[in-house]
Amino acid sequence: MSSSKNTTVKLNPSTLTDHEVKDNKNYGRVDINNLLDRARKEKSDERRKSAIYTSLFSLIVIIVITVISF
């Protein structure tokens, strides 16, 4: 018979955690990657909204044409 022993390993956080990075943030510099990510997200959101409005408009037109044809 073999018995298994459960062990819990506590992991230490890395030396650079988010909290430490925020505290040591240099306010004179801007990270271009953050700006590009924000611009891409806004563009994606804009495309999504435009697709939703276009599909809703098309659906309304199809419903109106269907109702008028009867």
Q: What is the pLDDT of residues 10-67, one digit of tens each?
A: 655 555 555 555 555 666 788 999 999 999 999 999 999 999 999 999 999 999 999 9
CA of residue 58 relative to chain centroid, distance: 28
- Number of domains comprising the chain: 1
Is position 16 within any domain? no
2 is a domain residue? no
Question: CA-CA distance, 59 to 52, in Å (whole number)?
Answer: 11
The whole-number pLDDT of residue 9 equals 56
8/44: higher pLDDT? 44
Dihedral over alpha carbons 58, 61, 65, 67 (to 10 degrees): 110
For 13-39, give the DSSP string: PPSS-HHHHHHT--TT---HHHHHHHH
Look at residue 32 and tell me if it is in a domain: yes
> pTM of the predicted model, to two decimals?
0.51
Range of the domain at 45: 26-69
